[in-house]
Amino acid sequence: MSPLYVYGFVRPGHPVPALTQGVGNPPARVRVVGDGTLAAAVSKAPPDLLARRRDLAAHREVLLALAADGPVLPMRFGVVAPDRATLRERLAESPETHLRTLGRLDGRLEMNCKVFPVEAALAGLLRADATLRALRDQARRRPGYETSVRLGEAATDALRRHATTAAAGAVRALAAYAEAVAPGPEVPGCVGNTSFLVPRAAVADFRTEAARHTAALADRAELRVTGPLPCFSFVTPGAAPAVPAAAAMGQA
């Protein structure tokens, strides 16, 4: 039998929205297979599967389209079952655990907030930080590689600390709209990467709160808020465990 590209696990009978297109060129038709307690959203696996931008986007969009009609336990890009029999065996492994996860994700989406330093804050830091100011003056008096490196490192550290402190309140405020939070992986230049499990009904309010803090912190930290996203951060094996939002923010 043909290999099957697996988008995620769903409940049997989960509808596939019209015009949903999967990975591959031409895009494969997405369907739900499985007649037991658990099913999977799949399509025919392309023979030359690579992490192309178009296919990565298709994978994400299929998961979001499916999530509009019920919970989805998403797979990372590139999961392929060699045949339907193998997929059926996989679906039969710990179905109760997967069904509990689907229940927890029902009616919820993932939002993400990344925090970056902004160079515009450096002038204020120089006025407030005597050590940083002394390094700058030394670099001016005795310019050279070592003094430039020391000043650059000190400035970078100060900007990172400043952005982290400035954005802490925003992250706590956003967590109030979430049922759980999970720290994300390190991102170059990023001082904070947090994912939020947000009820669908609260997504609009989450975005409004995020926009308010983004504007208020523009001269101290850059907030990059994305979503809704598939709930990868709250189901992926090996990821940092999700915890209740209040506990994660020190409010439990």
Give me the pLDDT at residue 249, please: 40
| Domain boundaries along the sequence of the chain | 4-106, 109-121+161-248
Which of 106, 89, 79, 82 lies closest to 10, judged by CA? 106
> For residue 157, what pLDDT is reported?
82
Q: What is the pLDDT, as a whole number, of residue 143? A: 80
Q: pTM here?
A: 0.80
Please identify, in words, the CATH class of the domain defined by 109-121+161-248: alpha beta
Alpha helices in 92-184 (DSSP H): 95-105, 122-128, 130-141, 145-175
pLDDT per 10-residue tile (average), the chain, 252 residues: 90 90 92 89 91 93 93 93 90 88 93 93 74 72 77 80 91 96 92 95 96 94 94 66 42 36
Question: What pLDDT is stored for residue 236 in this prediction?
Answer: 52
